Amino acid sequence: MTSFDELNHRELERYVRRVSDRWPLDRALLGGARVADMRGAGPQRERGPEYVIVLVSEHFDGVPWLERVYVTGTLWDAYEMGAPADVHAYTPVEFERRRENLPAVHDAAEWGLELLPEHA
């Protein structure tokens, strides 16, 4: 089971900074199997992605979705974090829509960790 202390918080902060240097973020959420482990989810489940990152920025407006996901995905350091991430990058309006119909986004929004200090 992953504990909160086992997450590489320093690298998570650096990741958010790298993304924010390109697009100022409104929210940055961390979900996925590692966060579910921290929250006490049992081992007898389908794990899904180890990390799910949900980034929300009004500055994504006008940027093609594939470009956002590609750039924000390349900024993730899978070696430092111990696993790749399933990255989602949305405008606030897209985020509200996706949190209703995408389980990974819903779970990150409901039970994930806020990576921006002002939302934690």
Quick one: CATH architecture of 4-114?
2-Layer Sandwich (3.30)
- Transcribe the chain into DSSP letters: ---GGGS-HHHHHHHHHHHHHHS--SEEEEESHHHHHHTT--SSS----SEEEEEE-GGGTTS-HHHHHHHHHHTS-HHHHTS-EEEEEE-HHHHHHHHHH-HHHHHHHHHSEE-STTT-
Q: Please give the chain's pLDDT, 120 residues, in tens.
A: 444 557 899 999 999 999 999 999 999 999 998 888 887 777 766 778 889 999 999 999 999 999 999 999 999 999 999 999 999 999 999 999 999 999 999 999 999 999 997 765
User: What one-letter code names the amino acid at 109?
Assistant: A
Amino acid (1-letter code) at residue 69: V
Domain ranges of the chain: 4-114
pLDDT (0 to 100) of residue 37:
83
What per-residue confidence (pLDDT) applies to 49? 85
